[in-house]
Structure 1
Amino acid sequence: MNPLNQYAWAITALTLIAGFLLLHSGWADYGSAFFVLFPCMVGFSIGTHDKRTRGMMSLLFGGLIFFGFLLAGALEGLVCVAMALPIFLIMMLIGYGFRRWLIPDSRQPKKPTDHLLVSLLPLLVLLLTNPIEQALLPEPEIVEIETSVLLPYPADLVFDQVKAMDKLDAEKPWGIWLGLPSPYRCILAADTVGAQRHCLFKNGEIIAEITRYEKGEVLEMDVVDYTLTSREWFQFQDATYTFERVDGQTKITRTSSYKSTLHPRAYWQPLEGWGIQQEHDFVLASLRKNLGEISGQE
Structure 2
Amino acid sequence: MGFYSQIKEILKVSVPIDRKRFFISGVILFFVKYGVDRSLSYFVFNREWWALDYIKNPTALFTLDPSSEDFTFYITLIGFSLPFLYLGTVLCLKRLRSIGLSPFWVFLFFVPALNFLMFFLLCLLPEGLYGPSKIIGNESSDGFIPKSKLIVSIWSILITASITLLFSLFSTDILKTYGASLFIGGPFIIGFTSVALYSRTEFVGFKQALLISASAISLAGFLTFIVAMEGVICLMMAAPLAYFLGFLGGGIAYLLQAKSKFVSSFLPFLFLILPSLAYLEANMDRESDWYMVETSLKISASKEKVWKGLFEFSDIPEPKELIFNAGVSYPVRARVEGKGIGAIRYCEFNNGVFVEEITEWDENTSLGFNVVRQPDAMKELSPYKNIRPTHLDGYFASKKGSFQLVSLGKNETLLIGRTWFQNKFGPTAYWNVWIHWILHKIHYRVLDHIRNTVEAPS
Partner SS for 1:25: helix
How far residue 61 of structure 1 moved from its aligned partner, in angstroms, is: 2.3
For residues 195-254 of structure 1, the C-alpha deviation after alignment (integer angstroms, 9 at most, x for no partner) is: 222222223332211111232111110011222143431111110001122212221111
Please list, as runs of the form range in 1=range in 2, the aligned pairs for 1:254-293 lying within 5 A after superposition.
Answer: 254-293=417-456
Partner SS for 1:85: helix
Asked if 1:17 is matched to 2:147, the reply is no
How far residue 267 of structure 1 moved from its aligned partner, in angstroms, is: 1.9
User: What residue number does 1:250 align with?
Assistant: 413
For residues 38-91 of structure 1, the C-alpha deviation after alignment (integer angstroms, 9 at most, x for no partner) is: 221222221232123555433322322343455567754544222210111121
RMSD, aligned CA: 2.8
Give the 3 Å change call, closer, same or farther, for CA 42–184 of structure 1 in structure 2.
Answer: same
For residues 107-126 of structure 1, the C-alpha deviation after alignment (integer angstroms, 9 at most, x for no partner) is: 255xxxx7xx94x6565322
User: What residue number does 2:256 align with?
Assistant: 102
2: CA distance between counterparts of 1:166 and 1:12? 53
Give the 3 Å change call, closer, same or farther, for CA 49–79 of structure 1 in structure 2.
Answer: same
Give the 3 Å change call, closer, same or farther, for CA 40–231 of structure 1 in structure 2.
Answer: same
Asked if 1:63 is matched to 2:225, the reply is no
Stretch deviating more after TM superposition (72-81 or 152-161) = 72-81
Give the 3 Å change call, closer, same or farther, for CA 184–267 of structure 1 in structure 2.
Answer: same
1: CA distance between counterparts of 2:280 and 2:376? 29
Give the 3 Å change call, closer, same or farther, for CA 203–76 of structure 1 in structure 2.
Answer: farther
How far residue 24 of structure 1 moved from its aligned partner, in angstroms, is: 2.9
User: What residue number does 2:355 align with?
Assistant: 207
Partner SS for 2:316: coil
The match for 2:287 among 139, 142, 151 is 139
How far residue 12 of structure 1 moved from its aligned partner, in angstroms, is: 3.9
Q: TM-score, normalised by structure 2?
A: 0.56
2: CA distance between counterparts of 1:134 and 1:174? 33
Q: Which amino acid aligns with 2:340?
A: T
Asked if 1:227 is matched to 2:372, the reply is no
Stretch deviating more after TM superposition (213-222 or 12-21) = 12-21
Number of matched pairs: 288
Q: Which amino acid aligns with 1:99?
A: A
User: What residue number does 2:7 align with?
Assistant: none
Stretch deviating more after TM superposition (238-247 or 197-206) = 197-206
Stretch deviating more after TM superposition (80-89 or 157-166) = 157-166
Q: Which amino acid aligns with 1:251?
A: L
Give the 3 Å change call, closer, same or farther, for CA 170–285 of structure 1 in structure 2.
Answer: farther
Unaligned runs of at least 5 residues, structure 2: 1-142, 378-391
Give the 3 Å change call, closer, same or farther, for CA 235–169 of structure 1 in structure 2.
Answer: same
Identity %: 20
Q: Normalized per residue, which structure has more strand?
A: 1
Stretch deviating more after TM superposition (23-32 or 73-82) = 73-82
User: What residue number does 1:197 align with?
Assistant: 345
Unaligned runs of at least 5 residues, structure 1: none
The match for 1:92 among 246, 263, 278 is 246
Give the 3 Å change call, closer, same or farther, for CA 102–49 of structure 1 in structure 2.
Answer: closer
Give the conservation status (yes or no) of the 8 Å contact 2:291–2:421: yes
User: What residue number does 1:217 align with?
Assistant: 365
Q: Which amino acid aligns with 1:91?
A: L
For residues 274-296 of structure 1, the C-alpha deviation after alignment (integer angstroms, 9 at most, x for no partner) is: 22111111111121222244x34
Give the conservation status (yes or no) of the 8 Å contact 1:17–1:66: yes
Give the conservation status (yes or no) of the 8 Å contact 1:194–1:209: yes
Give the 3 Å change call, closer, same or farther, for CA 36–17 of structure 1 in structure 2.
Answer: same
Please list, as runs of the form range in 1=range in 2, the aligned pairs for 1:115-130 lying within 5 A after superposition.
Answer: 118=267, 123-130=271-278
Give the conservation status (yes or no) of the 8 Å contact 1:183–1:199: yes
Give the conservation status (yes or no) of the 8 Å contact 2:192–2:213: no
Q: Which amino acid aligns with 1:264?
A: P
Partner SS for 2:174: coil
Give the 3 Å change call, closer, same or farther, for CA 47–235 of structure 1 in structure 2.
Answer: same
User: What residue number does 1:83 align with?
Assistant: 237
1: CA distance between counterparts of 2:333 and 2:159? 45
2: CA distance between counterparts of 1:16 and 1:283? 41
Give the 3 Å change call, closer, same or farther, for CA 163–19 of structure 1 in structure 2.
Answer: farther
Give the conservation status (yes or no) of the 8 Å contact 2:187–2:217: no
Asked if 1:159 is matched to 2:307, the reply is yes
For residues 119-177 of structure 1, the C-alpha deviation after alignment (integer angstroms, 9 at most, x for no partner) is: x6565322101233455685322111111111112222222222354412276445434
